[in-house]
Amino acid sequence: MNDIIESVKNLSIGFNSQKGKQISILRNVSTNIKKGETVGIVGESGSGKSTLALAMMGYIKQGLFPLKGECLFKSEDLLKMSSRQLEKIRGRKIAMIPQNAGQALTPNLKIGYQIDEALKLHTDLNKTERDKKISELLNKVRLPSPETMAFRYPHELSGGQQQRVAVAMALAGKPDLLLLDEPTTGLDVTTQAHVLELLRFIAKDTGTSMIYVSHDLGAIAQVSDRIVVMYAGEIVLEGPARKILKEPIHPYTYGLLKSIPKLSLAGLPASMPGSQPQPGSINEGCSFYDRCNLATDNCKKNSPDLEHIKELDTNVRCFNYKELINQNNNLQTSITKKSNNSEANEVLKLKDVSISYAKQKFFDQLLNKISDQNPTVKDINIDIKKGETIALVGESGSGKSTILKSIAGLLKTKDGQIKFENDRILSSDLKMRNPNDLRAIQLIFQNPDESLNPNHTVEQILSQPLKLYFNLSGEELKKNIIDLLKKVRLGEFYMSRYPRQLSGGEKQRVAVARAFAAKPDIILCDEVTSALDVSVQAAVLNLLQQLKEDLGTTYVFVSHDLAVVRAISDRVAVLYQGRLCEIGPSQNVYKFPSHPYTEVLLGAVLEPDPDIKPKLVAEDIVEEKPPEKGCSFQGRCPRKIGDICNSEVPPWQIGENGNAIRCHINIEELASLQQ
């Protein structure tokens, strides 16, 4: 028993509703954290995972209060401690690494000073010892040149570096337990892989216990020894990481793993029906009953207890888990999607498109000089065929959303042409486009919370495009709205609802319906699934695919998630710093030979499989500006061959797989290098 560092016993946390009812967010949660162990807490938004993690450091959000149970840290109940007592524990014994380090660091204090503050508070070292400790810590989190780093301000660091500083600060007090709340969620794929690698190293090196909270099973798989799966405020499955990820014996975990798109699979992931019940609306019986395909009458009436299965070393909350044992080869399946015929005509052509955010200087304007020689996006040539799904992939700053905005007419191009249907040039200025062209190209946004007017009902939202483009009114308008809702699998009663009354998935469905209301030819999807939970993401992807197959719409799909892109797209274009690196049919882009950048991206993808470790080939530097000459990827390329990369723009090479790669290395050589 001695090696248990924190144990949570029968913890319930809740709040009082306006009607005076007590509603629990956490229900009867019990778990133990052992010394030196990394526990991953995974769940979708609203599952109570963050509430649990915060309670583990004795913090309960305002408005919430513990209903029963205790949080024992070294046999002392954190929830009963005074704030004075907690002060002594937090930082020294339990430290936390927040989700967004950029917001957690004070913007106008130097990094070194902020770490020094933590050291002053949590250690008894003197000034010179502390200075030594600061560079030691910065070294440990692998920040380059720790001496100068200490004198920088947070804004001078990239997101990944800020996160490293947050790790260094947390380590300052030599804590026994580290709490990580989605520490890599806002970071780029390659940076994310690097930070996770660092965390794994630190856990081994210092023997610190970690609690890693995330919705991302891919990230959890990389760091955790043990995984706790939460659903609707309860632990539904708990056990060794490998067992959970390879042989999940709870139907929710099983469905969750199935709904994650995987790099190795071409088709769409299977989706789980429905959504997580809201706190307060949970009736008797199993909370997963509505979405479960193993459910029996027993599940409706009785709530299952967390049952310990000795031979698997797993706790599971399900009556029928036995049906899932030895079922798990099914995890590697997907729904095959219909591919379009490649004979179709081109519907949209981007020809030598360049886009610049730089404002023309006043004098240059007078002299009619072009001031920006190095625009954000340059020389984009993409032909998009009717009925295909083309994906633009890249990390933040790759220009993928910028290109999308230009196609939509929201951003003027600097050079080049956008041609629509039969080579007609489309003005890049929205006001110059005719109404029919505006109708033909529609946008779906990343975050449905922002893309739907909070003061409009679903009916009002959907009637906007119908009124504008088709002049509908009265009964006809209503009929069309109901049809649209049916198309996105929502009932008629959704018409009178406001966005705030819908779940994330439902909101995105409304946004999809609004785009389809215009009967468009092309739909531009800007990271449409990245704000959604995994199980909902799969459902939205399936819906988009279904609509496309029914209506023959063309998608331009922007995403940073290579697995999602793999699932939905027919063709992929990889972008770095606003320049195309590789373009080709999606099954070929995901095969070698690839452009070195594609190789880096593919290597950094986190799969929910403890056996697939990310390959970290390139440094996670963030470049702010594209290079003026040569290859766009010269700064980070692990396969750079010399001066030619710095001076000349690489030529396009067509591989035998049909993907075009822009690299100086001969494509056969690239293939043999990447084997």
> Strand, helix or coil at 547?
helix
Starting at the earlier edge strand, list the strands of the sheet with 346-355: 377-385, 346-355, 415-420, 424-426
According to the binding rule CB under 8 A, does residue 500 interact with another protein?
yes
Beta bridge partners of residue 323, listed in sequence order: none
User: Would you count residue 278 as binding another protein (CB under 8 A)?
Assistant: yes
**Residue from 455, 474, 624, 651 that binds another protein (CB under 8 A)?**
455
The binder of another protein chosen from 450, 476, 643, 656 (CB under 8 A)? 450
Residue in 97, 299, 443, 565 binding another protein, rule: CB under 8 A: 443
* Tokens 């986190």 sit on residue: 606
Closest CB to another protein among 511 and 645?
511
Given candidates 152, 489, 497, 519, which one binds another protein under the rule CB under 8 A? 497
| Among residues 190, 303, 389, 451, the one that binds another protein under rule CB under 8 A | 451
Among residues 355, 409, 574, the alpha carbon closest in space to that of 420 is found at 409
Nearest distance from residue 230's CB to another protein, in Å? 17
Asked whether position 516 contacts another protein by CB under 8 A, the answer is: no
Q: Does 2 bind another protein (CB under 8 A)?
A: no
CA–CA separation, 498 and 494 (whole Å): 8
Q: At its nearest, how many Å lie between another protein and the CB of residue 516?
A: 13
**What is the three-class DSSP state of 24?**
strand
Q: Is the dihedral of CA 576, 578, 579, 584 positive or negative?
A: positive
Q: For residue 385, which amino acid is it?
A: K
Instruction: Give the N- to C-terminal CA distance of the chain in Å, as an integer.
Output: 49
| 398 touches another protein (CB under 8 A) | no
Residues 32-61 that bind another protein (CB under 8 A): 61
Nearer to another protein, 14 or 578 (CB): 14
Q: Is residue 151 a contact partner of residue 102, using CB atoms and an 8 Å limit?
A: no
| Binding of residue 365 to another protein (CB under 8 A) | no
Q: Which is nearer to another protein, 180 or 443 (CB)?
A: 443
User: Measured from the CB of residue 639, what is the shortest distance to another protein in angstroms?
Assistant: 39
Is the link from the previous residue into 593 a cis peptide, with omega within 30 of 0?
yes
Q: How far is the CB of 478 from another protein (least distance, A)?
A: 14
Residue with tokens 């938004």: 45
Q: Residue 672 contacts by C-beta under 8 Å, 6 or more apart in sequence?
A: none
Contact between residue 416 and residue 351 where contact means Cβ atoms under 8 Å apart = yes
What three-state secondary structure class fits 211?
strand
Residue with Cβ nearer another protein (107 or 435):
435
Tokens of 49: 């995972």
Smallest distance from another protein to CB 310, Å? 39
Instruction: Take residue 138 and report the two structure tokens written for it.
Output: 């910065």
DSSP-derived pairing of the beta strands 571-576 and 389-393: parallel
Site pattern 200..239 for another protein (x: CB under 8 A): ----------------------------------------
What are the backbone dihedrals phi and psi of residue 350, each rounded to the nearest 5 degrees, phi first?
Answer: -105, 120
Tell whether residue 282 is a contact of another protein (CB under 8 A).
no
Among 43, 394, 465, 593, binds another protein (CB under 8 A): 465
Enumerate residues 605-644 that contact another protein by CB under 8 A.
none
Q: Which stretch binds another protein (CB under 8 A): 102-110, 195-203, 305-313, 453-461?
A: 453-461
Q: Cβ atoms within 10 A of the Cβ of 306, count? A: 17
457 binds another protein (CB under 8 A): yes
CA distance 657 to 319: 49
* Residue 186: DSSP 8-state: T
Rounded CA-CA distance 141/139 in Å is 5
Given 370, 430, 432, 654, the residue binding another protein (CB under 8 A)? 430
Shortest CB 358 distance to another protein, Å: 17
Q: Which residue number, 64 or 292, has a Cβ lying nearer to another protein?
A: 64
Please, what is the minimum distance in Å from the beta carbon of residue 471 to another protein? 13
CB of 428 to another protein, least distance (A): 13
Under rule CB under 8 A, residue 514 binds another protein: yes
Helices (H) and strands (E) in the chain, counts: 25, 24
Residue 464 found at the interface with another protein (CB under 8 A): yes
435 binds another protein, rule: CB under 8 A: yes
Told to check if 518 binds another protein by CB under 8 A, we report yes
* Total residues at interface with another protein (CB under 8 A): 47
State both tokens at 633.
């990827």
What CA–CA distance (Å, rounded) separates 295 from 286?
A: 9
Q: Closer to another protein at the Cβ: 61 or 629?
A: 61
By the 8 A CB rule, do 251 and 244 touch?
Answer: no
C-alpha span between 445 and 512 (Å, rounded): 9
Q: Of the candidates 656, 651, 657, which has an alpha carbon nearest to the alpha carbon of residue 589?
A: 657
Task: Quote the least distance from Cβ 318 to another protein, whole Å.
Answer: 26
How far apart are alpha carbons 370 and 355 in whole angstroms?
A: 13
Min. distance of Cβ 413 from another protein in angstroms? 16
Minimum distance of another protein from residue 50's CB (angstroms): 12
Q: By CB under 8 A, is residue 502 in contact with another protein?
A: yes
Question: Helix, strand, or coil here: 229?
Answer: strand
Least CB distance to another protein at residue 328 (A): 35
* Contacts with another protein, residue ranges (CB under 8 A): 15, 17-18, 61, 63-64, 278-281, 408-410, 430, 433, 435, 438-439, 441-443, 445-447, 450-457, 460, 464-465, 468-469, 493, 496-498, 500-503, 514, 518
